[in-house]
Structure 1
Amino acid sequence: MNLRFVEAYYWVVSLQSVSRAAEKLFITQSAMSSRIAALEDELGVLLLDRRDKQFQLTVAGKRFFTYAQRLLELQREIKAEMGAGTHAATSLRIGAIESVLHSWLIPWVQHMREALPGFELELTVETTPVLVEQVRRGTLDVAVAALPSAGDGLRSRALPAMEMVFVGHRELHRKRRYLLADLAGFELLTFQRGSQPHVALIDFFRQDGLEPRRVHAISSISAMAELVEGGFGVATLPLAAVRQIGARKPLKVLSCERKLLPLPVHVSYRDDPTSSLTRTVVDAMLTHLGVSTNHRKNR
């Protein structure tokens, strides 16, 4: 049995799409369809129900998927035992929100480069909704975002939340401590509308019966830092990012009578029975952040 055809079938089922599976394996959609057809011919059964446009497995297809996963895992174990691919380049598609990029991502990448000399990184920096959808569709292998991805075959782990702070201009905001009423009078900058920081900021003031003068939704930390530097207003940013950017800009963390809610961070990924790379990379990320590597499957 050709295991390339088995792998093709595994990803078609996992991603519930011939086109997305073809994209993941870097082959054409027609080549992917041919591999599935050849596998069906060899097994003597139909695996996919092609009678309508909706993705659906046959009864035989559901049964064979379990065998396909076991076959691919066995192939991976044999290669690991025999030492195959030990020195091969390893590429992984990772997506992250900008808050992570400006905090611990770069030191982690530097560590990975030393630990896995053949590690090749394909990095996407996007908003949480985009990253969650991309890892669900299989266009990313790992996503680090403010929300976990959910779906069959997906796993997620909570990472340490990021402390959020009010940030102003060092020369324009000189008070030692600010009341909520003081902050409500500023032009406020936070992340995109509907995001956790945006919703948390609005609730933050409403709990005290206050309405902010104006809240601007900005998707970029760099843009918010530039606006604060230009005297536009006060931003809510992760403290870790401020410590990095603040070394180059006249930014100041504003002391407030109450603390903002922290920004939750989750790593989401899909287990790959053909390779241990995803698990290795996620484990390295968890270890770097001081989180237990004991994985529990989230379905």
Structure 2
Amino acid sequence: MDVDLARTFLEIVSTRSFVRAAERLNVAQTTVSARIRTLEDQLGRSLFVRNKGGATLTPAGEQLLRYAPTFVQLWERVRHQVAVPEGHQSVLAIGSEISLWQPLLLDWVLWMRRNIPQTALRVHVDVPQDLIDQVASGLVDAAVMYAPPHRPGLKVDLLLDEKLVLVTTADAASPDSETSFVGMEWGPHFSQDFASSFPGAPHPGVSFNLGPLALSYLLAAGGSGYFRMRAVEQLVQQGRLRLVPGQPQFSYPIHVVYSSDLDDALIQPAIAGLRLVAGGRRAPLPPDGLSA
């Protein structure tokens, strides 16, 4: 089966539409239809029922769905594993969500280069939904994520349970104080816990969905906000921020997600290194680098 046929099949399953699948694949709808006809001819079965509501799988399509993701993952893994740079023995694609790249992903890359130099690295940083799709498709072998969804063929291991702590540029502050509070979107669990802990807190005048940007704003404009402890501890040590005493801290569990059929000899040493750096081995912040 041609990998483009498999990808097209999976896009239709995901979008439930030939039209939307064509848009996501950046091809004409006629191309999508032709690919599915070719796939159906090869298998001798109809795969979709098309109606006004979109496209739904036939029983044969349901069976193909069990194998198509693995086929695409295998092809992508083969494609980037055979492209081993000179002087290396293997290639590993690792990544993280945007808000987790510094310091965790950076420390991981540094550890890998020092301890497993024979493995070439491809490093990806992306938004959560795209990143989990890349892991599922084999474009990324392992990624550091907050609350990744469970998918068939993927393993999700808890890496560390980090804390979100309240920090301020002033002597003391809380979300309902006069000091400006900088909002940060840490996911639905944080929103629920925050609302329970601060029922009377007003909505922040400024909020962000990207930690580094929120932290840069806080340092420039002043105020308080919740950030990952690992991201602010150096700034606290430098006196640029202060931890607010007596305020609740919130759980922020971080996971590593990877394909269940990866070669253990390749992935397990890398994950062992990730656990080491997550346990406290740090790289210094770049001169202009901020994290959140």
TM tier, shorter chain?
Answer: 0.5 to 0.7
SS of the residue corresponding to residue 149 of structure 1 reads coil
CA offsets, 1:85-114, max 9 Å, x none?
27378585845041x223311112334556
Deviates more, 1:193-202 or 1:104-113: 193-202
User: Who is 1:204 aligned against?
Assistant: 197
Write out aligned runs for 1:241-260 (5 A). Answer: 241-245=231-235, 250-260=239-249
Write out aligned runs for 1:38-187 (5 A). Answer: 38-66=38-66, 85=82, 87=84, 92=93, 94-98=95-99, 100-112=100-112, 115=116, 117-124=119-126, 126=127, 131-132=128-129, 135=132, 144-149=144-149, 156-169=156-169, 172-173=170-171, 184-187=177-180
User: Who is 1:188 aligned against?
Assistant: 181
User: Who is 2:224 aligned against?
Assistant: 234
SS of the residue corresponding to residue 225 of structure 2 reads strand
User: Who is 2:270 aligned against?
Assistant: 284
Residue 159 of structure 1 deviates from its aligned partner by: 3.2
Amino acid paired to 2:214: M
* 8 Å contact from structure 1 (residues 162, 263) kept in 2: yes
* 8 Å contact from structure 1 (residues 93, 121) kept in 2: yes
Name the CA distance, whole Å, in 1 between partners of 2:229 and 2:149: 25
Distance 1:23 1:156, change over 3 A: farther
SS of the residue corresponding to residue 264 of structure 1 reads strand
Distance 1:148 1:259, change over 3 A: same
Structure 1, unmatched stretches of 5+, are 292-299
Deviates more, 1:131-140 or 1:112-121: 131-140
If the length of structure 2 is used for normalisation, what is the TM-score? 0.63
CA offsets, 1:262-288, max 9 Å, x none?
22334556x597xx4899669834751
Name the CA distance, whole Å, in 1 between partners of 2:121 and 2:153: 24
Is 2:251 the partner of 1:262?
Answer: yes
SS of the residue corresponding to residue 123 of structure 2 reads strand
Name the CA distance, whole Å, in 1 between partners of 2:23 and 2:124: 15
Residue 205 of structure 1 deviates from its aligned partner by: 3.2
Alpha carbon RMSD of aligned pairs, Å?
A: 4.9
* 8 Å contact from structure 1 (residues 163, 238) kept in 2: yes
SS of the residue corresponding to residue 163 of structure 1 reads strand
Distance 1:195 1:44, change over 3 A: closer
Name the CA distance, whole Å, in 1 between partners of 2:21 and 2:95: 17
SS of the residue corresponding to residue 119 of structure 1 reads strand
Deviates more, 1:231-240 or 1:51-60: 51-60
* 8 Å contact from structure 2 (residues 163, 229) kept in 1: yes
CA offsets, 1:20-69, max 9 Å, x none?
87799897765554343223213322122234452322122223444657
Structure 2, unmatched stretches of 5+, are 278-292
User: Who is 2:287 aligned against?
Assistant: none
If the length of structure 1 is used for normalisation, what is the TM-score? 0.62
Name the CA distance, whole Å, in 2 between partners of 1:23 and 1:121: 27
Name the CA distance, whole Å, in 2 between partners of 1:134 and 1:73: 14
**Across the two proteins, how many residue pairs are aligned to each other?**
265
SS of the residue corresponding to residue 120 of structure 1 reads strand
User: Who is 2:288 aligned against?
Assistant: none
